[in-house]
């Protein structure tokens, strides 16, 4: 059995890497196609050359990083590396809760440190070269430290709680762990903007002025409370602009990047805001949260079964079932299922984006949303011609071409 599981793990790793690389290649090929008429006014010749350069630079870099990480991961699984880390940790700590915590801590830290050079190259060389980067070495270091601190406190705390539950009751572990994760994610959905975001960014209520009064007019007409609209200092890290909707109930908020104000006209910002209010009106956050509940339940049910198997630990070079080795084996064996879940989530998310766009269009902002989306694409040098299969697997939003076509249809 351990042999079979071992080969299944290796097969899944290789198949996933092969599939992702194939999709990336399709995407690169497709990006060279000539633009459809409705997208031709987004870039001038120079800017389009720059976009193609940016896209290809990122594609090459993605190929390099994913190949590197694939090789390291494959070697760790194929040569029983995790079993060895386990023995090493066992030599120092032998406690049913502490051993898995230290084990995951070591794996997390090693993985993170290996990734740092790639991350630095991406931020300070690629993003810098194309004029996006605003991150200073100081911000980079503080972000990293704050990230570690959060991982230790939140990740470590949650993990300790879940392992503790497992040591108490292996049979009902799945149900209790599911309840803990569900309550935790509800809490995070509600308070993420108030607890986590302020550690990295400043959020301020939309300041008085022309933009605010235009937004006021629109928000009032749709019944959305203005006190829930915030501006975030995204310009601290990048020139790229964005806007998003988060939270539930009284904790709902729309967050606009300050960089949006430099890029767009007031009317276009209101159109983007109308799109975000569309998400709120259609209760998309609530829906996403609700459908995550049964899928987490299935995940923990399967996880609970797998935790008891000695063969799982042996497939990774261990001897008997242990929380951490079995969890690692599970993370790979479950990945085909989570791939299917991810694809379904993306299909649904793209549907939601169309609904939010339609809400903006219904309120008379189709034209402004079109020009706003075009400007967003232009300033982020985004790829206008992704391959349909790549979109199917990875895009949470419809392509710009699809959104503009749909908005144009809604106008006639
Ligand atoms: Zn949206």
| β-strand partners of 204 | 231
172 alpha carbon – ligand 1 mean position (Å): 38
Confirm if 380 and 333 have CB atoms less than 8 A apart.
no
Please give the positions annotated as active site.
276, 357
412 alpha carbon – ligand 1 mean position (Å): 23
Global model pTM greater than 0.95: no
356 alpha carbon – ligand 1 mean position (Å): 6
Distance between CA atoms of residues 365 and 140, nearest Å:
38
Q: Which residue is listed with tokens 């190259």?
A: 121
276 alpha carbon – ligand 1 mean position (Å): 6
DSSP per-residue letters across 348-373: HHHHHHHHHHHHHHHTT-HHHHHHHH
159 alpha carbon – ligand 1 mean position (Å): 32
Residue 48: what pLDDT?
94
Confirm if 329 and 5 have CB atoms less than 8 A apart.
yes
Distance between CA atoms of residues 412 and 407, nearest Å:
9
279 alpha carbon – ligand 1 mean position (Å): 7
245 alpha carbon – ligand 1 mean position (Å): 8
Residue 332: what pLDDT?
95
275 alpha carbon – ligand 1 mean position (Å): 6
354 alpha carbon – ligand 1 mean position (Å): 8
238 phi and psi angles, rounded to 5 deg: -155, 155
312 alpha carbon – ligand 1 mean position (Å): 41
Q: Which residues of the chain have pLDDT under 50?
A: none
324 alpha carbon – ligand 1 mean position (Å): 37
Q: What angle do CA 213, 216, 220 make, to 5 degrees?
A: 150
351 alpha carbon – ligand 1 mean position (Å): 10
80 phi and psi angles, rounded to 5 deg: 70, 30
238 alpha carbon – ligand 1 mean position (Å): 20
Confirm if 23 and 390 have CB atoms less than 8 A apart.
yes
245 phi and psi angles, rounded to 5 deg: -110, 135
Residue 227: what pLDDT?
81
Residue 103: what pLDDT?
97
Q: What angle do CA 75, 76, 80 make, to 5 degrees?
A: 105
Cα 380 to chain centroid distance, Å, stands at 18
Residue 219: what pLDDT?
87
244 alpha carbon – ligand 1 mean position (Å): 7
DSSP per-residue letters across 134-183: ---HHHHHHHHHHHHHHIIIIIIHHHHHHHHHHHH-TTTHHHHHHHHHHH
Taking ligand 1, which is a single-atom ion, which protein residues have CB atoms under 5 Å away? 353, 356
203 phi and psi angles, rounded to 5 deg: -115, 130
Residue 228: what pLDDT?
86
216 phi and psi angles, rounded to 5 deg: -55, -50
Q: Indicate the burial class of 223 (C-beta count within 10 angstroms; 0-12, 13-18, 19 or more).
A: exposed
């Amino acid at each position: 059995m351990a042999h079979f599981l071992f080969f299944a793990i290796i097969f899944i790793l290789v198949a996933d890497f092969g599939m992702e690389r194939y999709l990336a290649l399709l995407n690169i090929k497709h990006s060279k196609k000539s633009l459809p008429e409705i997208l031709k006014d987004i870039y001038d010749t120079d800017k389009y050359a720059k976009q193609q350069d940016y896209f290809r630079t990122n594609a090459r870099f993605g190929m390099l990083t994913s190949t590197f990480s694939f090789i390291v991961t494959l070697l760790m699984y194929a040569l029983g590396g995790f079993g060895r880390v386990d023995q090493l940790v066992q030599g120092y700590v032998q406690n049913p809760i502490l051993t898995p915590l230290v084990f995951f801590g070591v794996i997390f830290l090693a993985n993170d440190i290996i990734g740092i050079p790639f991350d630095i190259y991406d931020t300070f060389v690629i993003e810098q070269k194309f004029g996006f980067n605003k991150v200073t070495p100081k911000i980079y270091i503080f972000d990293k430290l704050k990230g570690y601190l959060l991982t230790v406190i939140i990740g470590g705390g949650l993990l300790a709680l879940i392992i503790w539950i497992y040591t108490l009751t292996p049979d009902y572990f799945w149900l209790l762990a599911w309840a803990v994760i569900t309550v935790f994610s509800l809490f995070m959905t509600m308070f993420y903007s108030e607890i986590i975001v302020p550690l990295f960014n400043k959020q301020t209520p939309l300041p008085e002025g022309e933009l605010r009064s235009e937004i006021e007019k629109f928000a009032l007409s749709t019944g959305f409370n203005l006190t829930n609209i915030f501006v975030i200092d995204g310009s601290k890290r990048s020139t790229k602009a964005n806007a998003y909707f988060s939270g539930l109930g009284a904790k709902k908020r729309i967050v606009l990047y300050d960089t949006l104000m430099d890029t767009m006209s007031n009317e276009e910002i209101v159109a983007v805001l109308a799109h975000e209010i569309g998400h709120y009106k259609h209760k998309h956050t609530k829906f996403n949260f609700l459908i995550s509940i049964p899928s987490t339940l299935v995940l923990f049910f399967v996880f609970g079964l797998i935790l008891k198997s000695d063969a799982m630990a042996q497939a990774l070079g261990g001897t008997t079932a242990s929380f951490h080795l079995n969890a690692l084996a599970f993370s790979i064996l479950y990945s085909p299922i989570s791939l299917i879940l991810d694809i379904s989530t993306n299909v649904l998310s793209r549907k939601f984006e169309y609904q939010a766009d339609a809400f903006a269009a219904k309120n008379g902002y189709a034209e402004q949303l079109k020009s706003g989306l075009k400007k967003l694409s232009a300033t982020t040098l985004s790829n206008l011609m992704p391959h349909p299969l790549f979109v199917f697997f990875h895009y949470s939003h419809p392509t710009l071409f699809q959104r503009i076509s749909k908005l144009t249809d809604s106008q006639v």
